[in-house]
Amino acid sequence: MQDDTLGLNPNQLSAMGVLLNSGDQLIGDLAALEQVRPPSMTRIVHGLEMRGYVARRSDPDDHRRCLVTLTESGRQVLLANRRRRNEWLTVRIAQLDPADRDVLRRAVPVLERLNQG
């Protein structure tokens, strides 16, 4: 579910999520984690940087490279988006009949394994 009011696409939200969960990343590493080519990640980062959601800084170990970091503004936007999505999902699940909710409850471990692999 995408929030069109944010003006962010799923790739941008996903990259921000990686930065929130994994910390600062080199663009190449972020691209690998997101399974896109570095030039694509550069465009994603540029769009986020223009909105003030991420910032680039020199890698302290190698000043030729730059790290991408999630700004406080980006963190707040991402967390608000997650809260909105969670609220939407909570309402939808509550509308299911008990048997369907039980199916979902039993599927959680399988989905968690898929997410890990």
What domains are defined for the chain? Answer: 4-116 (1.10.10.10)
Other C-beta atoms closer than 10 Å to the C-beta of 16 total 24
Q: How confident is the model at residue 14 (pLDDT cuts 50, 70, 90)?
A: very high
Q: How confident is the model at residue 62 (pLDDT cuts 50, 70, 90)?
A: confident
**Nearest residue to 17 (alpha-carbon basis) of 65, 81, 66:** 81
Instruction: Tell me the per-residue pLDDT of 87-107, one tens digit each, with 9 for 90 and over.
Output: 999 999 999 999 999 999 999
Give the pLDDT confidence score for residue 63 in this predicted structure.
86
In Å, what is the CA distance from 43 to each residue of 9, 11, 12, 39, 71? 12, 11, 10, 6, 17
Instruction: Tell me the per-residue pLDDT of 2-11, one tens digit each, with 9 for 90 and over.
Output: 455 578 999 9
